[in-house]
């Protein structure tokens, strides 16, 4: 090996070491490694930037916009609420989470699916007294398993398939072709979780519960006359077991109904009084058929879907102290509407407009965009805090969003358009039909993931160009002999270990040249090795940093690092045995 090869080995070793033992940002480390290879002349600018023009990477980026449309219209929340239902046992609750999530992840990128489901499942767990730690790790694992059943389920399959499309003599995969192995692997993994979940997944208290916010607000919501809740009972409408809030009373045509029965049927223009913590009040705003009882929210400029929820604490120097919210013309002064007020952590029963403000009052506001930035350092408020994911959904656009998703899948599966073309068309449709906005779509894109993928392609290219991948593959073949099945198993193990230590996409991209060299050394078909990379890199169960969805549930589930090893090791072994056993039978050597 020449100078460039040794430089590549040194850079890769340093990169892996820093990824495992440092807390530096993953995208920064990959770009730094790519820059080092460029500076030392190992690769040229064209090779360094080639990964950012990869079709698979572009497809991943576009799918984030598609999911943004589904999320902003409330389509995913509506589906989740209908699917989860009422659990009857611990195993039943895990089944209600894992089975639909695996199905969703086959047709949507699994990372945004998990992002949408974490708050939904957390609230569902609180509602029925379930352990979040026994549900959130299965949520991540189910999303990983389901994502391996189609080409668009996970970014890893898209990335490897993009490499196949650019490799001479190789063909890309069909939309459902990977399901020949992905579906059996998913079934095996789901069965393992459901049968042995009580031993695999721990009982932990989440970080969010340890620091749970004690503030309670009293908020009034109105039943829309043209909404789906009219005629439903409180139980049927899903208002009986709310997470973090409860229905106190109903005001109906001047009459008060206290101690509301679950069988009470809702009528048009019913005024519902809820008591709850801030996150619960946000979720009330997202229930289709409910709107804030105050008509002030409809007097703000711009559509509700572009607004956000903010908590603000009134300071002593606020000019409205001593005045009622109505007399002080709060909406005109600040461009925000007071939904509810809490004082000393306790709810105030009076209507917001009649409340006389005092220093220290916590206001729950519906505001225009930019309120937090504008008043974050204002003397009028001690503290201004914007609540994440608090924009009211665009329920009226949910049907177009669902049709666009179905059309994307149909066009891709029938071969009328490529996956990238179908996803791009769906993303443009989401914007054209106002299912989401350009600003929301930009926020949904995970730029760190895209940067890591693009940079990893450049590093993988260096491994191939300098002969490092070929030398590693030759050494591996020399040690294990000329048995392609055994070579496939070793590549699966190495890729899974890489995925656990770095990231799934980076592991797949770095192992592509090694797998290609191994197939060429054995003079066998490369396709089984490519499929193995797709499954092995995605099957990252053993560490929280190996797969983004694992990291996303780490804090909310209150997990420890060892919890992932305990549950992830048997998951990796079972899925690996199934994958390596099936792949050569479907895609022969």
Span 10-51, pLDDT tens digits? 888 888 788 767 777 778 888 898 899 899 888 888 888 887
pLDDT at 278: 74
DSSP 35-92: HHHHHTTSS-HHHHHHGGG-HHHHHHHHHHHHHHHHHHTTHHHHHHHHHH----SHHH
Length of the chain: 589
Q: What is the mean pLDDT of residues 559-586?
A: 90
Across the chain, mean pLDDT equals: 81
Alpha carbons 212 and 156: distance in angstroms, whole number: 36
Cβ-proximal residues to 305 (8 Å cutoff; 6+ apart), any chain:
72, 391, 392, 393, 394, 437
Cα-based distances in Å from 502 to 516, 521, 537, 547: 21, 27, 10, 8
At residue 194, the pLDDT reads 92
Q: What b/e string do you get for 194-206 counting C-beta neighbours within 10 Å, with b at 16 or more? A: eeebeebbbebeb
Q: Which of 550, 474, 483 is nearest to 515 (CA)?
A: 474
Beta-bridge partners for 272:
221, 250
Those residues whose C-beta lies under 8 Å from the C-beta of residue 333, and which sit 6 or more positions away, are: 319, 320
- Predicted local confidence at residue 207, as pLDDT: 45
> Which of helix, strand or coil describes residue 292?
strand
Q: For residues 349 and 333, is the Cβ–Cβ distance under 8 A?
A: no
DSSP result, 330-383: HHHHHSEEEEEEEETTEE--S-GGGPBP-TT-EEEEEE-TTHHHHHTT-TTEEE
* pLDDT digits 0-9 by tens, 421-449: 888 999 999 999 988 888 878 877 778 77
Question: CA angle, 239 as apex, 237 and 244 as ends, to 5°?
Answer: 150
520: three-class secondary structure by DSSP? helix
Quote the CA–CA distance of 132 and 394 in Å, as a whole number: 29
Q: How many angstroms separate the CA atoms of 145 and 242, rounded?
A: 30
State the Cα–Cα distance between residues 172 and 59, nearest whole angstrom: 14
pLDDT at position 209: 47
Set out the domains of the chain in order of their start, with CATH numbers.
3-205+445-586 (no CATH), 217-386 (3.30.70.1450)
Strands across the sheet containing 255-258: 255-258, 245-252, 271-276, 217-223, 290-292
- Find out whether 539 and 575 touch, Cβ atoms under 8 Å: yes
Predicted pLDDT at 532? 92
C-alpha span between 401 and 435 (Å, rounded): 6
Comparing CA positions, the residue from 36, 25, 81 lying closest to residue 395 is: 81
With beta carbons less than 8 A apart as the criterion, state whether 532 and 585 touch: no
Cα 31 to Cα 26: distance, rounded to the nearest angstrom: 9
Of residues 575, 582, 560, 581, the one with CA closest to residue 201: 560
Structure tokens at 412: 């891709």
Take residue 418 and report the two structure tokens written for it.
């490529």
Residue in the block written with tokens 């009982």? 203
CA distance 101 to 104: 5
| Ranges 139-143, 285-289, 334-338, 354-358: which has the least confidence | 285-289
Q: Is the pLDDT of residue 526 over 50?
A: yes
Q: Which tokens belong to 415? A: 């071969």
**Rounded to 5°, angle at Cα 303 from 430 and 267:** 100
- pLDDT tens, position by position, 257-316: 877 888 889 988 888 888 777 777 777 777 788 888 776 656 666 666 667 888 889 998
CA dist list (Å): 503 to 35, 115, 462, 540, 551: 19, 18, 19, 8, 11
Q: In angstroms, how far apart are the furthest CA atoms of the chain?
A: 87
The three-point CA angle 237-238-239 to 5° equals 95
Four-point Cα dihedral 475, 479, 485, 491, nearest 10:
-50
Give the tokens for residue 401. Answer: 């969003």
Residue with more model confidence, 243 or 173:
173
Per-residue confidence (pLDDT) for residue 182, from 0 to 100: 92
How many Cα neighbours within 13 Å face the side chain of 434? Answer: 9
Residues near 45 by beta carbon (within 8 Å), at least 6 away in sequence:
38
381-403 pLDDT per residue, tens? 888 888 766 666 777 788 888 88
Q: Token pair of 458, please?
A: 């450049």
Give CA separation, 367 vs 289, 297, 386, 442, in Å.
21, 9, 10, 21
Q: Are 585 and 560 in contact (CB under 8 A)?
A: no
Query: Which helix (H) or strand (E) covers residue 272, if one does?
Result: strand 271-276
Residue 262, number of CB atoms within 10 A of its CB: 13
Residues 183-220: tens digit of each pLDDT: 999 999 999 999 998 889 888 754 444 444 456 777 78
Q: Which helix (H) or strand (E) holds 250?
A: strand 245-252
Distance CA 148, CA 513 (A): 21
């Amino acid at each position: 090996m020449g100078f460039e090869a040794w430089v590549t080995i040194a850079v890769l070793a340093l990169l892996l070491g820093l990824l495992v033992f440092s807390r530096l940002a993953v995208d920064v480390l990959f770009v730094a490694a790519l820059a080092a290879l460029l500076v030392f002349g190992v690769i040229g600018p064209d090779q360094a930037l080639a990964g950012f023009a990869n079709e698979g990477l572009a497809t991943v980026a576009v799918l984030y916009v598609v999911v943004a449309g589904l999320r902003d219209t409330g389509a995913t929340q509506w589906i989740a609420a209908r699917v989860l239902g009422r659990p009857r046992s611990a195993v039943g609750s895990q089944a209600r989470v894992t089975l639909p999530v695996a199905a969703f992840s086959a047709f949507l990128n699994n990372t945004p699916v998990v992002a949408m489901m974490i708050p939904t499942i957390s609230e569902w767990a609180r509602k029925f007294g379930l352990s979040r730690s026994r549900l959130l790790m299965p949520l991540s694992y189910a999303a990983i398993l389901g994502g391996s059943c189609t080409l668009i389920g996970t970014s890893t399959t898209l990335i490897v398939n993009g490499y196949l499309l650019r490799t001479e003599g190789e063909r890309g995969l069909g939309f459902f072709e990977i399901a020949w192995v992905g579906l059996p692997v998913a079934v095996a993994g789901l069965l393992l979780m459901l049968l042995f979940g009580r031993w695999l997944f721990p009982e932990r208290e989440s970080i969010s519960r340890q620091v749970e916010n004690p503030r309670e607000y009293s908020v009034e919501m109105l039943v829309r006359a043209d909404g789906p809740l009219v005629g439903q009972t409180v139980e049927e409408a899903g208002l009986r077991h709310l997470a973090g809030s409860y229905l106190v009373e109903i005001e109906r045509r001047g009459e008060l109904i206290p101690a509301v029965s679950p069988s009470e049927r809702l009528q048009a223009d019913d005024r519902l009084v809820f008591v709850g913590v801030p996150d619960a009040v946000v979720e009330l705003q997202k229930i289709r058929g409910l709107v804030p009882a105050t008509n002030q929210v409809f007097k703000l400029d711009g559509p509700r879907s572009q607004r956000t929820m903010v908590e603000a604490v009134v300071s002593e120097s606020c000019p409205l102290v001593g005045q009622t919210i109505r007399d002080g013309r709060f909406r005109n002064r600040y461009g925000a509407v007071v939904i509810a007020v809490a004082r000393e952590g306790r709810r105030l029963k009076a209507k917001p407009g009649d409340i006389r403000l005092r220093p220290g009052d916590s206001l729950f506001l519906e505001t225009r965009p930019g309120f937090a930035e504008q008043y974050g350092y204002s003397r009028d408020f001690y503290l201004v805090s914007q609540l994440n994911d608090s924009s009211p959904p665009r329920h009226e656009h949910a049907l177009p969003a669902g049709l666009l998703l179905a059309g994307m899948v149909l066009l891709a599966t029938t071969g009328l358009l490529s996956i990238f073309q179908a996803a791009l068309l769906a993303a443009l449709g989401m914007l054209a039909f106002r299912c989401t906005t350009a600003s929301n779509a930009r926020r949904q894109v995970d730029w760190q993931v895209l940067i890591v993928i693009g940079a990893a392609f450049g590093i993988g290219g260096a491994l191939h160009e300098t002969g490092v991948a070929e030398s590693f593959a030759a050494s591996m073949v020399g040690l294990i002999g000329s048995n392609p099945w055994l070579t496939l198993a070793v590549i699966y193990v190495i890729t899974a270990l890489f995925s656990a230590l770095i990231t799934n996409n980076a592991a797949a991209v770095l192992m592509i040249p090694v797998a290609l060299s191994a197939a060429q050394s054995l003079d066998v078909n490369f396709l089984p090795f490519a499929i193995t990379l797709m499954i092995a890199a995605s099957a990252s169960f053993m560490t929280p940093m190996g797969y983004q969805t694992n990291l996303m549930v780490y804090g909310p589930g209150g997990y420890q690092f060892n919890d992932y090893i305990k549950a992830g090791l048997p998951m990796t072994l079972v899925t690996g045995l199934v994958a390596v056993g099936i792949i050569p039978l479907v895609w022969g050597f």
